[in-house]
Amino acid sequence: MEAADYPGTPYRPRAEITTNTVATLRNAWTFSDGTLHGHEGAPLVADNTMYVVTPFPNDAYALDLTKPGAPVKWKYSPNPTPTAIGKACCDVVNRGAQLADGMLIYNTLDDHTVAVDAATGYEVWRTQVDNAETGGTTPMAPLVVNGNA
């Protein structure tokens, strides 16, 4: 989950980062997804993989944290309809994803929730939750509870 727990604690405490060590933090690497819009969802890290979901076109990336420079393991492109761009109230952002049951689950701007196999990047399921043609957009992160999104 994007937060540390269901109540939404925004981080997980780390003993390694303290007021004494924070000044020594440095960039290890960077990653560009090629999009120019707002990134409002935090990356997720599990099993030496970092997952990033872009603003429209809502591509998902898995980055291998065991290798120098964290190369891309896979990229998933859901191909949302561009109609949603003109309907979005607050830019074409994506506010994050969730990891559950071996899947990366997130919403696309054009009102679909998708589940992608976290190991392979293949789509497991996809469902439409609203309709961009009638003005709906879905930039928010899904909430997964007991395996249900």
What residues pair up with 116 in beta bridges, in sequence order?
Answer: 104, 123
Which residues are CB-neighbours of 28 under 8 A, at least 6 positions away?
Answer: none
Q: What is the pTM of this model?
A: 0.85
Lowest mean pLDDT among 28-32, 40-44, 78-82, 86-90: 86-90
Q: What are the two backbone dihedrals, phi and then psi, of residue 64, each rounded to the nearest 5 degrees?
A: -85, 105
By CB atoms closer than 10 A (0-12, 13-18, 19+), residue 83 is middle
pLDDT in tens, 110-123: 999 999 999 999 99
Residues 6 or more apart whose Cβ sits within 8 Å of residue 133: 83
Lowest mean pLDDT among 8-12, 65-69, 78-82, 137-141: 8-12
Closest CA to 56 of 31, 28, 84, 29: 84
SS3 at position 76: strand
pLDDT tens string 9-36: 766 677 778 888 889 988 988 999 999 8
Give me the chain's average pLDDT, please. 89
Residue 117 makes CB contacts below 8 A (sequence gap 6+) with: 102, 103, 104, 123, 124
HSE-up of 132 (CA within 13 Å, CB side)? 21
> pLDDT by residue (tens digit) across 67-76?
999 999 999 9
Query: What phi and psi values does residue 25 have, to the nearest 5 degrees?
Result: -65, 140
pLDDT at 10: 65
